[in-house]
């Protein structure tokens, strides 16, 4: 028997079928029901909706439905609305440099249609009736076998209703991995709640299908802090302070509600919107958490809701398939500006807490700065035992870098 092995021949390179390509892309963009909901909420907001209702069955795996009162979809656009890279948000690549809408790639509805049974009902204000269409793999399909695939007239209110059923029915491994429907519903509720807080002028509801009561119900015109109290509780809402600042040199502005020095919560909450887009930015998160680690009691975690506005041309929104991350110019300077603003706000609020905290901060500052000047000095005029003054002493400098609390 010869020990010589036959040469290994390379497999031929083939162009993948379009359905395979689209399904692979859909699985990357729509990871779970909450990802689909995020895309659908952003579509509703882009449509100018003032009321958004979400209905969920089996954690969104069986039914995920969103209804809004936005401007609707043009009837003539229904045949292509679920095809990949069809969008009304941009025409040329350069439009990305000043994009101010949530969507821009035209992949959300297409992706959902490749991993679910999707239907859309929509009505514009000047239409006599609504139209309903069903989709599979980005194309119009008949509602029933043997029927026509054309959109059909139906009754409906102004706006759009999008229903995704049997999510991941054709990706069995993904479906099996998402079998905890309670966890999936909690993720859906979290996404809806975060958008409700940021879009405080818009009414949001979220409920499980068939449930007698809604789990989320915010009102048109409610303030941001009102929605925070409703969702997270009045105790947390009452322990927050409002921040608002601008920087002309960096051309940014930001506002929000963050933990005061008296805040006590065991789970960190970090809600960051950059140009109204819900994102996660690890450097900003870590810098703010570093600041609070020297302010809050041991084992307490901060609550941060931050609305950051940056010139669109300074932000790259096209760096992540699900648009969960963004990149922007002058990142370090902007982070320092935010941390400084929160730090100064905490100094000016003059809250009172246990005197033991002051001792802990003195020790921490001695390690950080190598000096014995305490960051927080006892309030000599206060009648509250163990209270302290958050006013900087003469030797306390304004922080000039992330994490510098001296």
Q: pLDDT tens digits for the chain (406 residues)? A: 555 566 678 888 877 777 777 677 666 678 899 999 999 999 999 899 999 999 999 999 999 999 999 999 999 999 999 887 766 555 555 555 555 555 545 578 888 999 999 999 999 999 999 999 999 998 999 998 888 999 999 999 999 999 999 999 988 888 888 989 999 999 999 999 999 999 998 999 999 999 999 999 999 989 999 999 999 999 999 999 999 999 999 999 999 999 998 777 888 899 999 988 898 899 999 999 999 988 888 888 999 999 999 988 888 765 555 556 678 889 999 999 999 999 999 988 754 444 334 434 554 555 445 444 344 433 333 333 333 344 333 333 334 444 333 3
- Bridge partners, residue 117, by sequence: 165
CB atoms within 10 A of CB 41: 25
Q: Cα–Cα distance between 220 and 7 in angstroms, integer? A: 71
Cβ-Cβ contacts under 8 Å for 343 (sequence gap 6 or more): 291, 399, 405
Closest CA to 307 of 257, 273, 258: 273
CB 358 within 8 A of CB 342: no
Pair 44, 160: CB distance under 8 Å: yes
CB burial of residue 165 (10 Å; 0-12, 13-18, 19+): middle
CB–CB of 318/266 below 8 Å?
Answer: no
Q: Which two tokens stand for residue 355?
A: 């005197």
Distances (CA, A) of 243 to 74, 249, 270, 288, 349: 41, 19, 15, 13, 11
Report which secondary-structure segment, H or E, holds 269: strand 269-274
Burial group, residue 267, by CB count within 10 angstroms (0-12, 13-18, 19+): exposed
pTM of the complete model: 0.78
Length of the chain: 406
Q: Is residue 246 within 8 Å of 252, Cβ to Cβ?
A: yes
CA dihedral 272, 273, 277, 281 (to 10 degrees): -40
- CB atoms inside a 10 Å sphere around CB 345: 17
CB atoms within 10 A of CB 53: 22
Task: Please state, in angstroms and rounded to a whole number, the distance separating the CA atoms of residues 196 and 363.
Answer: 41
Tokens of 144: 């029933």
């Amino acid at each position: 028997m010869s020990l010589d092995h036959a040469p290994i021949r390379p497999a031929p390179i083939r162009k993948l079928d379009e359905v395979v390509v689209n399904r692979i892309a859909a699985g990357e963009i729509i990871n779970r029901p909450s990802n689909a909901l995020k895309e659908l909420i952003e579509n509703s907001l882009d449509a100018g909706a003032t009321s958004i209702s979400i209905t969920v069955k089996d954690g969104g795996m069986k039914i995920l439905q969103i209804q809004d009162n936005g401007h609707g979809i043009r009837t003539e656009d229904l045949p292509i609305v679920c095809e990949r890279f069809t969008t009304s948000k941009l025409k040329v690549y350069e439009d990305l440099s000043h994009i101010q809408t949530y969507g821009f790639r035209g992949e959300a509805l297409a992706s959902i249609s490749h991993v679910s049974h999707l239907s859309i009902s929509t009505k514009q204000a000047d239409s006599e009736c609504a139209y309903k269409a069903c989709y599979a793999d980005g194309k119009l399909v008949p509602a029933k076998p043997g029927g026509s695939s054309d959109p059909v007239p139906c009754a409906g209110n102004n706006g759009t209703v999008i229903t995704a059923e049997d999510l991941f029915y054709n990706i069995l491994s993904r479906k099996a991995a998402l079998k905890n429907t309670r966890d999936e519903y909690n993720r859906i509720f979290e996404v809806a709640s975060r958008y409700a807080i940021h879009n405080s002028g818009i009414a949001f509801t979220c409920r499980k299908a068939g449930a007698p009561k809604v789990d989320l119900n915010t009102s048109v015109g409610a303030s941001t802090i009102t929605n925070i109290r409703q969702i997270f509780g009045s105790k947390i809402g009452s322990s927050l302070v409002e921040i608002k600042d601008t920087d002309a040199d960096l051309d940014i502005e930001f506002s929000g509600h963050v933990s005061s020095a008296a805040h006590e919560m065991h789970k960190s909450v970090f809600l960051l919107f950059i140009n109204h887009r819900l994102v996660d930015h690890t450097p900003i998160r870590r810098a703010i958490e570093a600041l609070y680690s020297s302010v809050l009691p041991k084992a307490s975690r901060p609550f941060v809701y931050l609305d950051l506005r940056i010139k669109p041309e300074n932000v790259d929104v096209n760096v992540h398939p699900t648009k969960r991350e963004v990149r922007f110019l002058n990142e370090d300077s902007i982070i320092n500006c935010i941390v400084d603003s929160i730090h100064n706000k905490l100094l000016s609020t003059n809250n009172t807490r246990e005197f033991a905290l002051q001792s802990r901060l003195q020790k921490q500052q001695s390690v950080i700065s190598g000096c014995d000047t305490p960051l927080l000095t006892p309030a000599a005029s206060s009648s509250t035992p163990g209270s302290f003054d958050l006013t900087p002493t003469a030797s306390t400098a304004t922080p000039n870098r992330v994490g510098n609390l001296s």
